[in-house]
Amino acid sequence: MLVPGVAYARPVRALLVVNPQATATTPAGRDVLAHALASAVELDVLETSYRGHAADAGREAAGAGIDLVVAHGGDGTVNEVVNGLLAEGPRPDLPMLGVVPGGSANVFAGALGLPREPVEATHRLLRAVEERSSRRVGLGRVADSAGERWFTFNAGLGWDADVVERMEQARARGREATPSRYARIAASCFFRLDRRNPRLTVELPGGETVDGVHLAFVSNTDPWSYLGGRPLRLNPSCSFDRGLGIFALRNVRMATVLRHLGQVIRGVEPRGSHLLRSDDVEKIRVTCSEPVRLQVDGDHLGERTAVEFTAVPSAVQVAV
């Protein structure tokens, strides 16, 4: 692994993981990135060809003496690489993670303060490698009957997972993941919500239990996501250095949702009588009276009836 401030006698070994299907990833951009990195490190390049390929690459890199794994793609690619690196849990000798955005949202990179434009992000990464500049960041971990999954910026049960599932269907039909399409799908999913029968119960540390919840959004940092270039700030004080954020609604009537949506878009601290919100929680357990869709980092994982979210401090080292 790369250690800040340490000079290396041998070349830095790096793996570039490229998702060629990501929204803003092109063959020309990949070649420029690979050429630039190869001038500074001993580089191998892998183009993903199946779902989970980036995770497999991260898992192999963690045991192969690789110093740096660079994810070039969207947030889903970053999530897969992270889950591969941490397949056996955090440890100090894992490769450093580098990120060159190539997706439509690039939330993880934006939350880290990294450029969301690939060329600028490449220059920033090269400087970080040269200067051994990095930081450790905390991650979220989801555990349920299907196993465990790490997430870098957000997860959720309910409305947001419904939107992710519909967007995945649209992309499978060749539709682009644009902000306007997200907005249309979000509106469509909202009008399908069952407003009379909340299905979630949220349990927080200290024995606090909240029944009658319609949706639960969990953040590992701020912002929760972006709509175009505009940050959506559900838990403004949440960060990679603190616990998880919880944003849960016990009322999803139009007036309530529009009021909180306005707060989130304007960057005003969300408040309301039907809102359960905390920006620094170690653990969150959500149980569902009926199966509810789950998403992590914009990846739909299917339906669940019980999920536990845990904050894991300093889980991975990231080149910044």
User: Tokens 């970080």 identify what position?
Assistant: 128
- The pLDDT assigned to 2 comes to 65
Number of structural domains, the chain? 2
pLDDT tens per residue, range 253-290: 999 999 999 999 999 999 999 999 999 999 999 999 99
- The pLDDT assigned to 3 comes to 61
Residues 109 and 246 in one domain: no
| 8-state DSSP, 22 | S
Residues 269 and 294 in one domain: yes
Flag whether 4 is in a domain: no
Residues 98 and 231 in one domain: no
Residue 159 contacts residue 215 (beta carbons within 8 Å) = yes
- The pLDDT assigned to 97 comes to 98
Which CATH number goes with the domain that contains 177? 2.60.200.40
Flag whether 212 is in a domain: yes
Percent of the chain whose predicted confidence (pLDDT) is above 90: 86
pLDDT greater than 60 at residue 9: no
Average pLDDT (57-64) is 96
- The pLDDT assigned to 61 comes to 97
Flag whether 112 is in a domain: yes
pTM reported for the whole predicted model: 0.93
Residue 19 contacts residue 72 (beta carbons within 8 Å) = yes
CA distance 189 to 265: 19
CA distance 152 to 305: 22
CA distance 134 to 205: 32
- 294 Cβ neighbours under 8 A, 6+ residues apart: 142, 144, 155, 156, 157, 161, 300, 301, 302, 303, 304, 307
Average pLDDT (8-28) is 86
- The pLDDT assigned to 13 comes to 96
Residues 19 and 119 in one domain: yes
CA distance 216 to 90: 27
Residue with the larger pLDDT of the pair 219 and 2 = 219
Average pLDDT (297-316) is 97
Handedness of CA 90, 145, 302, 188 (dihedral sign): negative
Flag whether 5 is in a domain: no
Tell me which amino acid residue 295 is.
Q
pLDDT greater than 80 at residue 232: yes
pLDDT tens per residue, range 110-160: 999 999 889 899 999 999 999 999 999 999 999 999 899 999 999 999 999
Residues 146 and 254 in one domain: yes
- The pLDDT assigned to 5 comes to 56
Of 78, 111, 132, which residue sits at a domain end?
A: 132
What range does the domain containing 291 cover?
142-314
Average pLDDT (80-101) is 97
Flag whether 255 is in a domain: yes
Helices and strands: H and E segment counts in the chain: 8, 16
- The pLDDT assigned to 1 comes to 60
pLDDT greater than 70 at residue 103: yes
CA distance 112 to 224: 12
Q: What distance lies between CA 29 and its chain's CA centroid?
A: 23
Residues 232 and 85 in one domain: no
- 296 Cβ neighbours under 8 A, 6+ residues apart: 79, 140, 142, 149, 150, 151, 154, 155
- The pLDDT assigned to 91 comes to 94
Residues 161 and 279 in one domain: yes
**Closest C-alpha among 236, 237, 244 to residue 260:** 236
The chain-wide mean pLDDT, for the chain, equals: 94
